[in-house]
Amino acid sequence: MQQFMSQLQNLFATSGSGPVNWDLARQVAASQLAAAGDPAVSPYERNAVEEALRLADLWLEPASALPSGIQTSVAWNRNEWIYKTLDVWRKLCDPVASRMVGAMGDLVPPEARAQLGPMQSMVATLGGALFGGQLGQALGSLAAEVLSAGDIGLPLGPAGTAALIPANIKAYGEGLELPEDEVRLYVALREAAHQRLFQHVPWLRGHVLSAVEMYASGIRVNREAIEEAMGRVDPTDPESMQAIALEGIFTPEDSPAQKASLARLETALALVEGWVCHVVDSAATGRLPNVVRLAEAFRRRRAAGGPAEQTFAALVGLELRPRRLREAAALWAALTEHRGISGRDALWGHPDLLPSEDDFADPVAFAMSEFDLSELEGFDFSAPGGPEEQVPGESERRPDDDTDDDKRP
């Protein structure tokens, strides 16, 4: 008992508010990037990114009924990507981490809790540090791979800010053996398409993030794995926290509700990514010499996920991959053919209009369905057009934020 209390007392001087020690997460990620290298963005790269995003927006005009969503065009280094996206990661990861911290508290023997008294907060410190260190490593790895703010399909960056990471685009282009400027422009098209979608479909941001949160709420904690991880902590060596692998602590609960949450999340990610792929390829065809190679490379990349995405999935139990990407892209293509660009994009006017998972099986049948979208074909995407779903972690909407579900110009 004395040894246990001594370990808690000496564990960590750095504490953070909430279930995750985000200060530690930032430190670990920054340290990892410093070791691997984080090239500064040169003036040439900054100008090249701004020009690529400007041109991408022009190319997307005839391919989408949604107007430009870009308010600011920026080039980030890897550390900036972490700093600018941390608020969303906090909303996504805190609910999962809080259950781990609670499970760690349950591991403390009942007789020990009475003796610990106020020192029980040290258990939360341990949990927050464990998760913060591991999350920092995962984010540091992701930062070395992502190509833009919207690269993994979630609205991670500030609203209206289109951002590319030149160092990662250069490395990715070298791997494909394609010209850097062509790869940069293709990434810019994808980023600009994401911005159009999330800026002009008011309910979409909350819809996607709440789908992630709902799925995360059904992830259960493996208490034996936590106990094993705690047993490997050396209280005299804070760096030992970073060496502990938390993979396996979080596992999806095999229940009907959790399977439904997973289906909702996968459908949301696939619809977003499928629309982006279809619109980008439509805009780039005939303009980029290697558009076919680029399109296939990006589909495989998003469908399989990189090493960093796999690490993140193992850590928090969330796979941010659109498993049905090809089916979703085929569905949007069928809608374009049978209903036109305006009719296709009018489906974003309300979540109830979007295809369901079952519709992926026969995209042509869905595109030719008798449901009349004629009233929505002239939908003004520059104005609020649907119910805004509350983003996880945000306060309740103000009354004056309410929008009419059926608002039309």
**Percentage with pLDDT > 70 across the chain:** 67
Per-residue confidence (pLDDT) for residue 146, from 0 to 100: 92
Mean of per-residue pLDDT scores for the chain? 79
Say how many residues make up the chain: 409
Secondary structure, 3-state, the chain: CHHHHHHHHHCCCCCCCCCCCHHHHHHHHHHHHHHHCCCCCCHHHHHHHHHHHHHHHHHHHHHCCCCCCCCEEEECCHHHHHHHHHHHHHHHHHHHHHHHHHHHHHHCCHHHHHHHHHHHHHHHHHHHHHHHHHHHHHHHHHHCCCCECCCCCCCCCCCCEEEECHHHHHHHHHHHCCCHHHHHHHHHHHHHHHHHHHHHCCCHHHHHHHHHHHHHHCEEECHHHHHHHHHCCCCCCCCHHHHCCCCCCEEECCCHHHHHHHHHHHHHHHHHHHHHHHHHHHHHCCCCCCHHHHHHHHHHHHHHCCHHHHHHHHHHCCCCCCCCHHHHHHHHHHHHHHHHHHHHHHHHHCHHHCCCHHHHHCHHHHHCCCCCCHHHCCCCCCCCCCCCCCCCCCCCCCHHHCCCCCCCC
Round to whole Å and give the CA distance between 38 and 31. 10
pLDDT under 50: residue ranges of the chain: 1-14, 373, 375-376, 381-409
Query: Tokens in use for 81?
Result: 């990507």
Per-residue confidence (pLDDT) for residue 251, from 0 to 100: 67
Round to whole Å and give the CA distance between 212 and 404. 25
Whether the predicted model's global pTM rises above the 0.85 cut:
no
Per-residue confidence (pLDDT) for residue 112, from 0 to 100: 59
User: pLDDT of 168-195, one tens digit each?
Assistant: 999 999 999 999 999 999 999 999 999 9
Long-range CB contacts (within 8 A, 24+) of 323-326:
323/266, 323/270, 324/266, 324/267, 324/270, 324/274, 324/357, 324/360, 325/270, 325/273, 325/274, 325/277, 325/299, 326/274, 326/299
Give the type of residue at 177.
E
Strands 219-221 and 72-75: unpaired
Per-residue confidence (pLDDT) for residue 152, from 0 to 100: 84
Per-residue confidence (pLDDT) for residue 105, from 0 to 100: 63
Per-residue confidence (pLDDT) for residue 391, from 0 to 100: 42
